[in-house]
């Protein structure tokens, strides 16, 4: 017996909380399409994201450590998978729409440039006089315009709720709301708020793990970070509790500490959010939209510790000289690529020559570079600037 879409929708109506987003109540797609016989609208969106070109390219885009530093480190793709796992867990625990939270999380970094934030900074600077560049807006550009998989329309034609979840992550001063079909005054759905929190919860922990593994920081650097000390104490307790056969390898201790931290924050996020929903008498998705402060979030105590932890990461990891050296190098050669293509658009692949014709040279080149993986950008640089490189 097949489980049909209307039964799935019925299940959502029955089992989800009254303030959850329901796929049957979606505001729909920009291009009307018939519904799928046995997949819900958000489920279908998730699958469209996973099958997209931009999603596959996340595999070779830098999160913090560049791809050629080693195979252990998170890439944009594994970061995305970790964030979507957390989003799903939180959404399920709160009886919210797991498919929607997961889809927004899977799509949240699609617009990231090669070489992480260095690439974003470079393109933002280069595009300053030409409409700007912001990776969340770029994610939307990808799902609305740049993906080409369907005969009838450009983009992935995702539902309003997923597109809005991607857009709501952009800087608050962005003025393009109306043009994109969003209401700037309304708060994001709970599922979108969850995807946002899951992103930061995921990167805090995997970045500290990667930084320790790489030797950019050592355990002793974390001495003053309260949250980390709590986590180590919990890890030691677990190791002691495992008895004589305990695996006391320092790497296992570190992983137990990180496991504790994720669990602590996810649990705090679930219980704090539940409390805020009760206190705010939130009873429908409309109440969520009208709320004037975020409903999904950590308690003040855990939030303060998380901030201290993030400050540490910012100073000791993201600003480490090895990171800065790579970031400056990436900015330099992405800028060189950009300026060369803007000056000589005839050196672009044919598809992008057409795109430049349609979108203007700066925007077209920006789309091309933003879509590159780290190594594709490196190869392009070699082809353009190394005298004896074959093209």
Closer residue to Mg ion (CB): 26 or 193: 193
Q: Which residues pair with 155 in a beta bridge?
A: none
Question: In whole angstroms, what separates CA 277 from the centre of its chain?
Answer: 25
Closer residue to Mg ion (CB): 23 or 265: 265
CB of 370 closer than 8 Å to CB of 133: yes
Q: Which residues pair with 159 in a beta bridge?
A: 29
Nearest-angstrom CA–CA distance, 156 and 106: 14
Q: Which stretch binds Mg ion (CB under 5 A): 19-27, 137-145, 160-168, 197-205?
A: 197-205
Nearest-angstrom CA–CA distance, 23 and 131: 34
Binding of Mg ion at residue 134 (CB under 5 A)?
no
Closer residue to Mg ion (CB): 109 or 256: 109
Q: Which stretch binds Mg ion (CB under 5 A): 198-206, 231-239, 244-252, 381-389?
A: 198-206
Closer residue to Mg ion (CB): 210 or 380: 210
Q: Which residues pair with 29 in a beta bridge?
A: 159
Going by C-alpha positions, the residue among 134, 155, 178, 192 that lies closest to residue 33 is 155
Nearest-angstrom CA–CA distance, 87 and 91: 6
Q: Nearest approach, Cβ of 269 to Mg ion (angstroms)? A: 16
Closer residue to Mg ion (CB): 199 or 374: 199
Task: Considering only CA atoms, give the Rg of the chain.
Answer: 22
**3-state class percentages of the chain: helix first, strand second, coil last, to nearest 5:** 65, 0, 35
Closer residue to Mg ion (CB): 23 or 139: 139
Closer residue to Mg ion (CB): 116 or 364: 116
Question: In whole angstroms, what separates CA 234 from the centre of its chain?
Answer: 29
Q: Nearest approach, Cβ of 105 to Mg ion (angstroms)? A: 9
Q: Nearest approach, Cβ of 3 to Mg ion (angstroms)? A: 32
Going by C-alpha positions, the residue among 346, 338, 350, 353 that lies closest to residue 385 is 338
Closer residue to Mg ion (CB): 59 or 229: 59
Binding of Mg ion at residue 199 (CB under 5 A)?
yes
Closer residue to Mg ion (CB): 116 or 155: 116
Q: Nearest approach, Cβ of 88 to Mg ion (angstroms)? A: 15
Q: Nearest approach, Cβ of 73 to Mg ion (angstroms)? A: 15
Residue nearest to Mg ion (CB): 199
Q: Supply 166's token pair.
A: 């991607």
Contact track, Mg ion, 12-41, x by CB under 5 A: ------------------------------
Q: Nearest approach, Cβ of 139 to Mg ion (angstroms)? A: 10
Nearest-angstrom CA–CA distance, 270 and 386: 53
Contacts of 160 (CB under 8 A, 6+ apart): 26, 27, 28, 29, 181
Contact track, Mg ion, 281-320, x by CB under 5 A: ----------------------------------------
The DSSP annotation for 62-87 comes to BSSS-GGG-SSS-BHHHHHHHHHHHH
Contacts of 84 (CB under 8 A, 6+ apart): 102, 105, 106, 195, 198
Site for Mg ion in 88-127 (CB under 5 A): 109
Q: Nearest approach, Cβ of 74 to Mg ion (angstroms)? A: 10
Q: Which stretch binds Mg ion (CB under 5 A): 22-30, 124-132, 196-204, 222-230?
A: 196-204
Number of shown-chain residues binding Mg ion (CB under 5 A): 2
Q: Nearest approach, Cβ of 111 to Mg ion (angstroms)? A: 11
Q: Nearest approach, Cβ of 87 to Mg ion (angstroms)? A: 11
Contacts of 386 (CB under 8 A, 6+ apart): none
Indicate if the alpha-carbon torsion angle 133, 138, 144, 146 is positive or negative: positive
Q: Which stretch binds Mg ion (CB under 5 A): 39-47, 151-159, 191-199, 316-324?
A: 191-199
Contact track, Mg ion, 50-89, x by CB under 5 A: ----------------------------------------
Q: Which residues pair with 62 in a beta bridge?
A: 75
What are the residues binding Mg ion (CB under 5 A)?
109, 199
């Amino acid at each position: 017996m097949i489980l049909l879409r209307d039964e799935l929708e019925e299940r959502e109506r029955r089992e989800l909380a009254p303030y959850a987003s329901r796929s049957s109540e979606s505001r729909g797609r920009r291009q009307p399409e018939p519904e799928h016989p046995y997949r819900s609208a958000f489920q279908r969106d998730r699958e469209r994201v996973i099958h997209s070109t931009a999603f596959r390219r996340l595999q070779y885009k830098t999160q913090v450590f560049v791809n050629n530093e080693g195979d252990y480190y998170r890439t944009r793709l594994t970061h995305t998978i970790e964030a979507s796992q957390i989003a799903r867990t939180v959404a399920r625990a709160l009886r919210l729409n797991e498919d929607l939270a997961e889809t927004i999380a899977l799509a949240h970094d699609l617009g990231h440039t090669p070489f992480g934030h260095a690439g974003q900074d470079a393109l933002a600077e280069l595009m300053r006089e030409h409409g700007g560049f912001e990776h969340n807006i770029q994610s939307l550009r990808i799902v609305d315009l740049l993906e080409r998989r369907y005969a009838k329309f450009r983009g992935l034609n995702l539902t309003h709720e997923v597109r809005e979840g991607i857009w709501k992550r952009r800087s608050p001063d962005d003025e393009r709301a109306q043009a994109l079909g969003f209401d700037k005054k309304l708060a994001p759905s709970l599922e979108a708020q969850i995807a946002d929190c899951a992103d930061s919860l995921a990167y805090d922990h995997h970045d500290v793990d990667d930084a320790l593994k790489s030797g950019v920081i050592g355990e002793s650097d974390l001495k003053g970070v309260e949250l980390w000390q709590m986590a180590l104490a919990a890890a030691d307790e677990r190791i002691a509790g495992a008895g004589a056969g305990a695996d006391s390898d320092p790497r296992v201790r570190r992983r137990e500490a990180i496991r504790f931290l994720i669990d602590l924050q996810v649990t705090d996020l679930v219980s704090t959010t539940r409390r805020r929903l009760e206190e705010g008498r939130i009873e429908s998705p409309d109440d969520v939209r009208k709320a004037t402060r975020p409903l999904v979030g950590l308690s003040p105590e855990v939030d303060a510790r998380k901030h201290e932890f993030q400050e540490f990461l910012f100073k000791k990891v993201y600003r480490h000289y090895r990171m800065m050296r790579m970031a400056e190098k990436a900015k330099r050669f992405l800028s060189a690529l950009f300026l060369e293509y803007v000056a000589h658009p005839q050196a672009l692949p044919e598809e992008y020559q057409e795109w430049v014709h349609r979108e203007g040279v700066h925007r077209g080149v920006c789309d091309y570079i933003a879509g590159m993986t780290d190594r594709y950008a490196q190869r392009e640089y070699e082809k353009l600037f190394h005298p004896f490189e074959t093209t």
